[in-house]
Structure 1
């Protein structure tokens, strides 16, 4: 009797255990399916989980190469340099065109090319048709460069033509605003110390990160970056980063806060990678940051 009484609970325990295991496995299947569904919602994630150390390093996780683009082989802009990840094992990449400023060549801000590309983007740093071109012209040239990248360049098969962005310094930054306003299908814009006589961008719908310098005497933030930012609708998603004591020429030397926020912005809006929201909201702080404002994007 004792053995019979003892065996029945053990059988019951085994049955409960089997049911528990089955339930756990079923739940695991649901979680796996949920994870797969979540992953499918963000198919453009590229690279490892981001950290501040990765974003602040001189290079990101992707090996890159570059190639020159002759002005005689293109139309609408003055040629330049393309930087791109050497491996496509993770898929195609978003692309960004970047313009230098008034009287400057691409070499003045060329450190941005490999830095951004090494985080999983194809980058074209353009030469303008003339160094005196105004922002509206630079905006058209940025768009022409993107069209060249996705239609005719030798790296076009590496690019997802639906995920494009623009950036630039000074009048090139003003040009990136012009390009974003003209082509609302762009995924992001990053004007650096932007200069433009047009102050209102209420028609702009592209997620825009503006980075200005507190001590900029060429394009003072009070009459350029700040009114630009204020005029962009919050519905477009926007951020404004002001660098402490920075001059107009801060993009012309390696600047870690600029690179970190630019890459995070491109990752979030070109790659739709919500892993990078942690760097946008609440955003950067510290002695190098004078001010940061944003609309705090929600995934």
Structure 2
């Protein structure tokens, strides 16, 4: 079941609860009803501090998958919430960039997992794999997670997303094109020879870097974003005074917006809408932000 299938019914119930709350003067009733009607909501109510923290509310465990056990990708590390008391979780696969290994994205994977996701930080088959190949490998990793991994029972196989850096970022676009049922895509300083993505139906947050000389935003991130359907939930965030390799080390701006995007569209958690809409203003960390607000409901 996809986001587009489940979300309207959920939102109709929320709207009804909100109307009832207004009628009886009970804001708390609406909040409780919203939580009760969204089965995917995980973790406490978010704050700016909680999405900027290096770790979220979930304790995280880790298991590794060797390249020999993997099929269609190069193995990797799975990070997952240790407790199952909250139910199943959405899952995210992360791909590195050209010539890089999973170590380049190792800071982000446990950070996302601690917010309530199962995260697979993968190696690619070779370090020179192009975006189309990396896209196929991201999907193969998600299939492994949901069908063969030791944590498959912790995952809601209908709530999946992809993240990637550079050619891995280009791979996220390829993966979303191939599998429209994906709930979210977050390309980080993405590189791809294909500049136009009107086919995408997956909510997509493109994160570029102002001083990127490898994948300049004028010829990569901005055309990617601009080519997405205007009706799609989409956003473009440009990191102020940052290089192509900004995603390879701990970055609070990347983390907080990635978390908010994944929570909003993988978990249908509208509590995170406040961090995405209204459109954030340019400032010390962000040189440009574009998007459509409010998001589809």
Same fold (TM over 0.5): yes
Give the match for residue 207 of structure 2.
Answer: 211
Secondary structure of 1:82 counterpart:
strand
Secondary structure of 1:71 counterpart:
coil
Give the TM-score normalised by the residue count of structure 2.
0.89
Match of 1:69 among 65, 70, 85: 65
**How many Å separate the matches in 2 of 1:205 and 1:213?**
24
Cα RMSD, aligned residues only: 1.8
Residue correspondence of structure 1 range 31-110 to structure 2 within 5 A: 32=29, 37-110=33-106
**How many Å separate the matches in 2 of 1:129 and 1:38?**
43
Give the match for residue 292 of structure 1.
Answer: 289
- 2:181 is the counterpart of 1:171: no
Residues 205, 235 of structure 1: 8 Å contact kept: no
**How many Å separate the matches in 2 of 1:238 and 1:178?**
16
Residues 132-151 of structure 1: CA deviation (Å, up to 9, x unaligned): 00000000000000000000
Give the match for residue 276 of structure 1.
Answer: 272
Residues 85-121 of structure 1: CA deviation (Å, up to 9, x unaligned): 0011111100000000000000011101100000000
**How many Å separate the matches in 1 of 2:115 and 2:188?**
19
**How many Å separate the matches in 2 of 1:77 and 1:97?**
11
Secondary structure of 2:288 counterpart:
strand
- 2:151 is the counterpart of 1:127: no
**How many Å separate the matches in 2 of 1:232 and 1:181?**
11
Unaligned runs of 5+ in 1: 1-25
**How many Å separate the matches in 2 of 1:224 and 1:141?**
21
After TM superposition, the runs of 4+ consecutive aligned structure 1 residues lying more than 4 A away are: 26-32, 34-37
Residues 232-290 of structure 1: CA deviation (Å, up to 9, x unaligned): 01222100000111000000111100000000000000000000000011244431110
Residues 212, 242 of structure 2: 8 Å contact kept: yes
Residue correspondence of structure 1 range 218-233 to structure 2 within 5 A: 218-233=214-229
Match of 2:253 among 251, 257, 262: 257
Secondary structure of 1:172 counterpart:
helix
Match of 2:109 among 102, 110, 113: 113
Give the TM-score normalised by the residue count of structure 1.
0.88
Residue correspondence of structure 1 range 183-202 to structure 2 within 5 A: 183-202=179-198
Residues 184, 205 of structure 1: 8 Å contact kept: yes
Cα distance, 1:130 vs. partner? 0.2
Cα distance, 1:37 vs. partner? 4.6
Distance change >3 Å, CA 120–CA 27, structure 1 → 2: same
Give the match for residue 6 of structure 2.
Answer: none
Unaligned runs of 5+ in 2: 1-22
**How many Å separate the matches in 2 of 1:198 and 1:212?**
16
Give the match for residue 147 of structure 1.
Answer: 143
Residues 186, 205 of structure 2: 8 Å contact kept: yes
Cα distance, 1:74 vs. partner? 1.4
Which structure: larger Rg?
Answer: 1
Cα distance, 1:29 vs. partner? 9.8
Give the match for residue 9 of structure 2.
Answer: none
